[in-house]
Homo-oligomer: A and B are copies of this chain.
Amino acid sequence: MNPKETLKAHILKTATLNDKEFDYLFSYFKQQSFKKGQVVISEGDKVDHEYFVISGCLKAFFINDEIKMYILQFAMPTWWTSDYGALYNHTRATISVDCISDAEVLCLSNDDREKICSEIHQAEHFFRWRTNRGYLASQKRLLSFMNNDTKARYEELLAMYPQLYNLVPKHLIAAYLGVSRETLSRLYNAQK
Contacts and interface: CB of A to CB of B under 8 A. Distances in A.
Question: Which of A132, A142, A146, A147 has the largest count of B CB atoms less than 10 A from its CB?
Answer: A146
So how many copies of this chain end up in the complex? 2
Interface in A106-132: 117-118, 121, 124-125, 127-128, 131-132
Interface residues of A, number: 30
A151 interface: no
Interface stretch (A1-9, A49-57, A133-141): A133-141
Contact of A70 (B62, B124, B147): B147
22 contacts: A62-B143, A68-B147, A70-B143, A70-B146, A72-B142, A84-B132, A84-B136, A84-B139, A85-B139, A85-B140, A117-B125, A117-B128, A118-B121, A127-B128, A128-B128, A131-B135, A135-B135, A135-B138, A138-B139, A138-B142, A142-B145, A145-B146
Interface of A: 62, 64, 68, 70, 72, 84-85, 88, 117-118, 121, 124-125, 127-128, 131-132, 134-136, 138-143, 145-147, 178
